[in-house]
Chain A
Amino acid sequence: MRNFQQNLAKLEAADTQVLGVSMDNPFANKVFADQNGVTFPLLSDIGGKVIRQYGIYKEYDQFHTKIPAARRATYLIDTNGKVVEMQVDADAVDPTKTVRACERRKLTR
């Protein structure tokens, strides 16, 4: 999420709202946001309803236990509510592509 925070000024300049989503509770997200200087909303999808709806629910093997969470994924949604760009897993970590796509959309308006 720090990658998105670092690019937040560029994204906001391109009329883009960033929303982080995970299965963490709001208290964990609050601490996470404060410790990392994250100023955009981090949303709690406890139970993973939205994450399942987007089809990116995954169980991770950690300490011999299966922990449910989201896969790393970035969706760019335009002002009509349509998905115009998406990256999943390792591709979703670097926001450069998303930032460029937002800037292009700004220019074409």
Chain B
Amino acid sequence: MRKMSITLMLACFLLTGVASTQTESAPPATEVKIGDIAPDFTLVDQNGKPRSLHDYKGKKNVVLAFYVWAFSSD
């Protein structure tokens, strides 16, 4: 009986593991949609200067262009 419950627990544990792996590999949906407030951030540019999204608020439109990696073709 004890052995069976341990096996059962182990099975549950493994299944949970499989389930969580599946959620991670599901095609990612975009979190930010049209109409949402864009999440603020501060990141460093190619010259080491920090840039924040809020720097442009009330002043300019911002085009955020995410790219896969530097030296990608386009």
Which A residues lie at the B interface, using CB under 8 A? 1-4, 11, 14-24, 26, 28-33, 35, 41-45, 49-51, 53-58, 60, 69-86, 88, 92-93, 95, 98, 102, 105
Q: A16-B60, A17-B63, A21-B64 are in contact. Are A83 and B48 (CB under 8 A)?
A: no
Q: How many A-B residue pairs have CB under 8 A?
A: 186
Query: B36: nearest residue on chain A (CB-CB)?
Result: A83
Question: Which residue from A31, A44, A56, A79 sits with its C-beta under 8 Å from B43?
Answer: A44
What interface size band does chain B fall in? Answer: 35 or more
B38 touches A24 (CB 8 A): no
CA distance A85 to B57 in the complex (A): 16
Q: A70-B67, A74-B66 are in contact. Are A21 and B43 (CB under 8 A)?
A: yes
Query: A41: nearest residue on chain B (CB-CB)?
Result: B45
Question: Which residue from A14, A22, A73 sits with its C-beta under 8 Å from B69?
Answer: A22
Query: B60: nearest residue on chain A (CB-CB)?
Result: A17
Residues of chain B lying within 8 A (CB to CB) of residue A77: 38, 53, 56, 61-64
B70 at the interface (CB under 8 A from A): yes
Query: A43: nearest residue on chain B (CB-CB)?
Result: B43
Q: How far is the CB of A65 from chain B (nearest CB, A)?
A: 14
Q: A22-B70, A50-B41 are in contact. Are A86 and B65 (CB under 8 A)?
A: no
A102 touches B63 (CB 8 A): yes
CA distance A103 to B49 in the complex (A): 28
Q: How far is the CB of A40 from chain B (nearest CB, A)?
A: 9
CA distance A69 to B47 in the complex (A): 21
Q: A17-B56, A83-B38 are in contact. Are A42 and B70 (CB under 8 A)?
A: yes
